[in-house]
Amino acid sequence: MTAPTALPRVSVVDALADALRAQILDGVPPAGAPLREVELSQTYGVSRHTLRAALRRLAAEGIVVVEPHRGARVASLAPDEVRGLWELRTALEVEAARLALGADGGRLPVATHRAAERLAAACRRPRPSWRTVSDLHTGLHTAIVDASGSDRIRAAYAPLATELRLFVLQLRPAWSAERMAAHHERLVAELERDGADVLRLHLQEGFESVTRRDG
């Protein structure tokens, strides 16, 4: 008889980090909000030592900032970081879209269409999870990059995942889920109709929505 496969045990720190990550990526608390140790320790019934270990884990992922003598807060992108992300995304994604469209006579792969459909469906659910919306938003834009067939563009784009999540968190107060759905459904159709430069305007609209709100 084959011995049963051992499943990994989840530590309290792991479970707490998972719970906090899920809440943060759902936008509760919002970007930049303080994470108060006493309140969180009482909410989850854990020691402050355990809480600090979980927060350090999330800090290593880039979604929490821990500052000496000031405590922890949800990470947020400063205005210059939002601009830098927008500039880099524009350079990489517009070129990726150009290559993808050129490879198949102006059509995007089925996988890209499916990614847009999944994002729209998630956005239109009752009380959509912003964490799921964020993941599917990243999935769609990654699908566009993957469709380029360029290993160099894919490699340059991959490290942007955490910043993309933070960007979508900061976009949430300005964009409803319904707007997110419509914007990205329109993007795929317009890319195939009008070409890669449509993506430049799409990214600029998101950038301006965040910077206008933060300003």
Give yes or no: residues 85 and 62 share one domain: no
Give yes or no: residues 159 and 182 share one domain: yes
64/24 Cα distance (integer angstroms): 9
Give yes or no: residues 101 and 37 share one domain: no
Tokens of 11: 């530590």
| Interior/surface letters 142-156, b for 16+ CB within 10 angstroms, e for the rest | bbbbbbbebeebeee
Residue 150 is assigned to a structural domain of this protein? yes
Residue 170 is assigned to a structural domain of this protein? yes
Helix, strand or coil, per DSSP, at residue 166: helix
Residue 7 is assigned to a structural domain of this protein? no
Residue 118 is assigned to a structural domain of this protein? yes
Give yes or no: residues 100 and 159 share one domain: yes
Give yes or no: residues 83 and 67 share one domain: no
Q: At a CB cut-off of 8 Å and minimum separation 6, what does 121 contact? A: none
Angle (CA) 98-141-193 rounded to 5° is 45
Give yes or no: residues 54 and 156 share one domain: no
Number of structural domains in the chain: 2
Residue where one domain finishes, among candidates 74, 95, 119 = 74
Q: At a CB cut-off of 8 Å and minimum separation 6, what does 41 contact? A: 47, 48, 51
User: What stretch of H or E contains 73?
Assistant: strand 71-74
Q: Are 207 and 82 in contact (CB under 8 A)?
A: yes
pLDDT number for residue 212: 85
pLDDT number for residue 150: 98
Residue 5 is assigned to a structural domain of this protein? no
Give yes or no: residues 69 and 27 share one domain: yes
Residue where one domain finishes, among candidates 21, 40, 74 = 74
How confident is the chain (215 residues) per 10-residue block, as mean pLDDT?
60 92 90 93 94 95 91 94 97 98 95 96 94 95 97 97 92 93 95 97 95 71
Give yes or no: residues 67 and 83 share one domain: no
58/46 Cα distance (integer angstroms): 17
Q: Are 92 and 157 in contact (CB under 8 A)?
A: yes
Give yes or no: residues 88 and 184 share one domain: yes
Q: At 182, which CATH number?
A: 1.20.120.530
pLDDT number for residue 87: 97
Give yes or no: residues 36 and 66 share one domain: yes
Give yes or no: residues 109 and 209 share one domain: yes
Q: Are strands 64-67 and 34-35 parallel, antiparallel or unpaired?
A: unpaired
pTM for the structure as a whole: 0.86
Residue 3 is assigned to a structural domain of this protein? no
pLDDT number for residue 215: 54
Q: At 42, which CATH number?
A: 1.10.10.10
The candidate with the shortest Cα–Cα distance to 211, out of 90, 79, 89, is: 79
Give yes or no: residues 34 and 139 share one domain: no
Residue-number span of the structural domain to which 61 is assigned? 12-74
Q: Are 24 and 165 in contact (CB under 8 A)?
A: no
